[in-house]
Amino acid sequence: MILCCSSVMLPDESLTSQAERLKTWGFDAIAVFQDYARWDDTVHRELVELESRTGVRPVEFVLLDEIYGKAMSSDAALRTACRDMYKQAADVCAELGLVTEIEYEYGPQDPMPLFDPYQQMDAETEEAFLDFYRELLDRVAGSNGKILLEPLNRYESRYLNSVADNLRMIEKVAHPNAGLLPDTFHMSIEEKNVADSLRAAGDQVRHVHLGDSNRLLPGHGALDWPDIFAALSEIGYHGTVNLECSTSGDPERTLPETVRFLRDLAA
């Protein structure tokens, strides 16, 4: 498997410095979560040349801003701004063969859905979401770029919290550049068994986010990591597993330790 770390877990340096740091720690790849306000031609060129200069491959690209997660907002201006940002990320993914992810929404839920989990969209809302998903998929069609659905827990999104609900959306769009991005932290809240849900997702798993049940590094919480990696092996997944969690302390120490932990699991 390809071991990857999210850029937001690293000191706020250039992409090149971050990639070089990851290389020394034993990572293969970097997931770039880029501040939208600082995204320009210079950073774009740095991203394009990153693997050739450092040996660390960019595999995931997300533009971040306070408008992130507002693609289905009832505020038309906010919705348009968010979608325009997502389209720019999709174009980068088409250019470089990267993955990016979308969700129905992202942000703290108010009221908090304590006793009403797995809410379902009505038909009109679902079709509106699918139309937006298809629009993004069309931007990467014919490339190696992918637009993936990431199930979020109920406290961060009203809908599409479970793997099963996201698989249903993926089946409806029936697009070769679509797929699932399971996140083990979110799954620890929403799935009865993380490994079994990965097995059920099968070949729709295209990229994986790793975080333990407390959103610390793998091995620092309650998840059964040997079973999770066994499930990935059983479904024939040999792609990227990306750390998207807390560094659980000093990254100079904890991230190399986690590389060794994950290599042992993958072996």
The model's pLDDT over 159-214, given as tens digits with 9 standing for 90+, comes to 999 999 999 999 999 999 999 999 999 999 999 999 999 999 999 999 999 999 99
pLDDT of residue 73: 97
Residue 4's φ and ψ, nearest 5 degrees, are -135, 155
The pLDDT of residue 75: 98
Range of the domain at 164: 2-266
| Dihedral sign, Cα of residue 222, residue 225, residue 230, residue 233 | positive
Q: Are 64 and 33 in contact, with CB atoms under 8 Å apart?
A: yes
**pTM as predicted:** 0.97
Closest CA to 147 of 137, 155, 156: 137
CA distance 18 to 12: 8
pLDDT value of position 12: 86
Tens of pLDDT along the chain (267 residues) come to 999 999 999 998 899 999 999 999 999 999 999 999 999 999 999 999 999 999 999 999 999 999 999 999 999 999 999 999 999 999 999 999 999 999 999 999 999 998 989 999 999 999 999 999 999 999 999 999 999 999 999 999 999 999 999 999 999 999 999 999 999 999 999 999 999 999 999 999 999 999 999 999 999 999 999 999 999 999 999 999 999 999 999 999 999 999 999 999 999
* CATH assignment at residue 10: 3.20.20.150
pLDDT reported for residue 114: 87
pLDDT value at residue 202: 98
Query: What per-residue confidence (pLDDT) applies to 223?
Result: 98
SS3 content of the chain, % helix, strand, coil (to 5): 45, 15, 40
Q: Into how many domains does the chain fold? A: 1
CA 221 to each of CA 5, 8, 215: distance values in angstroms, whole numbers, following the listed order:
18, 21, 8
